[in-house]
Amino acid sequence: MQLFFGISYLLFFAGVVIASLFIMFHLSRYSLNRKLAVGMTGLFVVVTAVLLWTNSLLFFSLPLDTLLIPTNF
């Protein structure tokens, strides 16, 4: 079951990275002000990197082996 969650998270992570690249392309390509485009793209990269880093830290800190054991009440 851990393999399932690992693959699912990998697909999620890859999807977020691809979507971020799509957004960065459009921020840099279709902006009217070039200086503002560079600043907003840089800010977007930093914020996205921090969010992905914290998300991956939280995911890998989950105790998946004990989380998936059914309990009887």
pTM (2 decimals)?
0.79
DSSP-derived letter for residue 68 is T
The answer to whether the CB of 70 falls within 8 A of the CB of 3 is no
Q: Name residues whose C-beta falls within 8 Å of residue 2's C-beta, 6 or more positions apart in sequence.
A: 64, 65, 68
- HEC letters along 31-62: CCCHHHHHHHHHHHHHHHHHHHHHHHHHHHCC
Whether pLDDT at 72 is above 70: no
**Model pLDDT for residues 25-48, shown as the tens digit of each residue:** 999 888 888 899 999 999 999 999
Where residue 69 falls among pLDDT bands split at 50, 70, 90?
confident
